[in-house]
Amino acid sequence: MLEPSSQTPDYLISPITTPVPPSPPPPPTKPNQFLSLISNRPSLRVTSEFDSDSRVFFHKVSCKLFDDLAKLKLSFVNNVKREISGSLLALTSKHLSIHYDPEEQNALIKTSFDVGPKLQFKAAHDVKAKRGEVAMVANVADPGYAVEVSSPVPYIGLPKATIRFPTGEVTLEEREDEEVPRKLLINGILKGPILNGVGAAHYTDEELRLRYSYKDESLSFIPSISLPSNAVSFAFKRRFSPSDKLSYWYNFDSNGWSAVYKHTYDKDFKFKAGYDS
């Protein structure tokens, strides 16, 4: 007698099926950069100052546009009679800036761009005066060595040349006076470390100004003297805390002085009060 087999017949075994792989997710869509620049709402920054002597308010409203590629700024003066004057509209970017005066209906246009690895072109144009200036800046050596040659438009006289180096600059310029038809002027700035601070000498229009600046985390002291007028002045700044700062300036020649106290509540709100003699 045959015993029944313990194996399952082949027709009762379910066939092995290969799992179907899931369909790949659709590729992510790239956001439109132009639409994202337009849709981002710029944040406004408002600054207001009050002058108790002239009883006027100085207002500044600015915002950054196109993902910080440009900045729009509006400034104007408002008196107690709510009359607005001195308005100025400015649009600035890395290579172009336009300053428009609505009252004068005039615009000042400036542009700058690189024309080579170490060569830069700059130009400025006053629309109403129909005058301007063009300049070429060459970085002859690193770091801090450059030569700039600029000329007014329309062309008048020789171009102005400026030589810059790490410790200052020297400018050669031809100027016309009533007494002397044309003369060559030499102006310059020389600065360097001295007595734990920075000393600077400014020579402009035959006047020499010596200035010393000392600054640390909580204190700034800046005395200066002008020769040959012997006019002496000094500035003093004291930071009491990260949010409180006092600035004081005094001129010994005119006995004029000013004091300003500034308190910072947060990055969006600052309070400033001062007096100017």
Q: Is residue 262 domain-shared with residue 176, that is, in the same domain?
A: yes
Above 90 in pLDDT, residue 154? Answer: no
Answering whether pTM is above 0.95, one says no
Distance CA 74, CA 84 (A): 12
Tokens of 264: 């910072």
Above 50 in pLDDT, residue 12? Answer: no
User: Mind listing the pLDDT tens digit for each residue in 68-125?
Assistant: 889 999 999 988 788 888 899 999 999 999 999 999 999 999 999 999 889 999 999 9
Q: Is residue 129 domain-shared with residue 192, that is, in the same domain?
A: no
254, part of any domain: yes
Q: Is residue 148 domain-shared with residue 200, that is, in the same domain?
A: no
Q: Is residue 97 domain-shared with residue 202, that is, in the same domain?
A: no
Q: Which of 51-55, 165-169, 221-225, 254-258 has the lowest mean pLDDT?
A: 51-55
Q: Is residue 155 domain-shared with residue 181, that is, in the same domain?
A: no
Q: Is residue 136 domain-shared with residue 81, that is, in the same domain?
A: no
259, part of any domain: yes
CATH no. for residue 67? 2.20.25
234, part of any domain: yes
186, part of any domain: yes
Domain boundary at 60, 85, 104, which? 104
25, part of any domain: no
Number of domains in the chain: 3
Cβ burial 31-42 (10 Å sphere, 16+ → b, else e): eeeeeeeeeeee
Above 80 in pLDDT, residue 14? Answer: no
11, part of any domain: no
Domain boundary at 104, 124, 147, which? 104
* Cβ(273)–Cβ(50) below 8 Å: no
* Cβ(64)–Cβ(43) below 8 Å: yes
User: Mind listing the pLDDT tens digit for each residue in 37-52?
Assistant: 445 666 788 888 888 7
Domain boundary at 165, 185, 205, which? 165
274, part of any domain: yes
The whole domain housing 74 covers 43-104
Distance CA 164, CA 245 (A): 34
For all residues of the chain together, what is the average pLDDT?
A: 84
Q: Is residue 180 domain-shared with residue 276, that is, in the same domain?
A: yes
Q: Is residue 203 domain-shared with residue 232, that is, in the same domain?
A: yes
